[in-house]
Amino acid sequence: MDFELSEENRIFREAIREFAQREIAPLVEEAEATATYPKQLFRKMGEQGFLCPRFPIEIGGGGGDKITECIMVEEVNYVCAGVASGIVGHTGLATYPLYVHGSDELKENYLYPAARGEKIGAFGLSEPDVGSDAAAIRTRAVRDGDSYILNGTKMFITNGPICDYVVVCAYTDPSKRGAGINLFVVDKGTPGFVVSRKLEKLGNHCSETGELVFEDCRVPASHMIGGKEGGGFEQIASTLLSGRITYGARATGTAQAIYDLTVEYAKQRVQFGKPIVKHQFIRFRLAEVAMLVDIMRQYTWRVAWLFDQGKKVRKESSMAKLFATEMVQKIAGDCIQIFGGYGYMKEYPIERHFRDARLYTVTEGTSEVQRMVIAKECGF
């Protein structure tokens, strides 16, 4: 087994790292302070093939693989998790079902512009009373001639306030739990579709998150992903499986940023007559963090590689998300302790990373759900 990145992936990593430092980093402070997403990044990343890096070049993607996507996600998260959240919601959730299951018409009108950054997508699954149990959604789509009428509410939707379209999960046949779900593409501005409110969050401030309401919202039947009633639950499952690998990369990028900031601080901070990095306890703690970050990255890449080979990775993808997102909680806590009082102050970016990381064990499948999946795949 080759544990080295390909030459293409090494070149890509340098390119996206330079882009993130040049184009994203200068925007972070204002974006976080105003809780406003810098939407111009979608088009800029699309022009470079960074936005959807594993889609084919001919449709506006980067022509890479899942490892390529993980590299992009890690490097953007290293700079700002809030910016990365908008990108991940667009790249992983709002475009993947279209790429795998969408009709030629939907691909032409939504996927291709989204890959180029000309349209911003969102994914509407969670509801005010429905989170981990995706099959319990209440949003309904009723056939009416050549259209479907959507009614329901979606909650915690990344990119909801800024999207040009949203992929909405709804029941066409509520008598069939899970199996009766379908996915629909709904345009911004469609009568009956409103963003009822923009949500304020603990972290990931510049990632715009909203509550979406659909009241007698008429959607063309041609906007159903898959072209026939049923099958949406499987589309959701495959989308979330890929996203769990991505979250391994999200956590790794944040963990690497925290580690680098802490090492730099520990070399400069003097206590008891010497830099605190010279104290054995600090050195040992940082050594452990370095080890954990490397394990997070290598395991995420391994699962991404298996995914690219077409292997069944339901268990491994949940392991990648569970391990990486749980470990970044420990890393953030340990490192903010090294900063002491300064780590609690907003003038140091570690405070932002600490808040941002807390989201990772909750979204796209909680840690408890990942344990359920792993246990089931292990046969118990």
From the candidates 23, 200, 364, 377, give the one annotated as an active-site residue: 364
Measured distance CA(284)–CA(160) in Å, rounded: 43
- Those residues whose C-beta lies under 8 Å from the C-beta of residue 24, and which sit 6 or more positions away, are 38, 41, 76, 79, 80, 83
Q: How far is CA 354 from the centre of its chain?
A: 17
Residue 262 and residue 52: Cα distance in Å, rounded? 32
Among 147, 158, 157, smallest CA distance to 224 is for: 147
Cα distances (Å, whole numbers) of residue 302 to 68, 317, 326:
12, 10, 18
Buried b (16+ CB within 10 A) or exposed e, 263-295: bebbeeeeeeeeebbeeeebeebbeebeebbee
Q: Is 32 designated active site?
A: no
Positions marked catalytic: 364
